[in-house]
A = this chain, B = another copy of it.
Amino acid sequence: MTEETGPDQELIANVFARGCSSRAAFETVTGRWASLVLLALADGPHRFGELRRRVEGVSEKMLSQALHGLEREGLLVRTDHGTLPPRVDYALTELGADIAGRLRALADLLEGAVPELDAARAAYARD
């Protein structure tokens, strides 16, 4: 929720409600690139170039936008080691890691359902 309300008014977070912070966060973490970045960072901190190679198809611009969005929501921390050549790491916060865990559970399910998904798509194309 983003508005202050009186103590007599119940505050129930609701991902369906346009004004709720949980809806904004849900849109960020399920974003096309942000979701894959969260999955990639689930196994530890990575540098920009590593993320770019891991998340197939992402452009520099899109990766940069996804990282900023996740930083704004407090889901990752950017660490500049102040060295030359520059070295910058991206690591999940505790909340970021929890979210990445839930996304991993979803990805595991889909990776295990590939034969079923392919069959459904083929059946749909035939009709």
Contact = CB atoms under 8 A, between A and B. Distances in A.
Interface of A: 1-2, 13-18, 20-22, 24-27, 29-32, 35-36, 39-40, 54-57, 71-75, 95, 98-99, 102-103, 105-107, 109-114, 116-121, 123-124
Copies of this chain, tallied across the complex: 2
Contact of A109 (B17, B40, B102): B102
A97 B63 CA distance: 31
Given A13-B110, A14-B111, A95-B116, 9 more contacts: A13-B111, A16-B40, A26-B35, A29-B110, A30-B35, A72-B124, A74-B121, A99-B110, A105-B105
B22 A71 contact: no
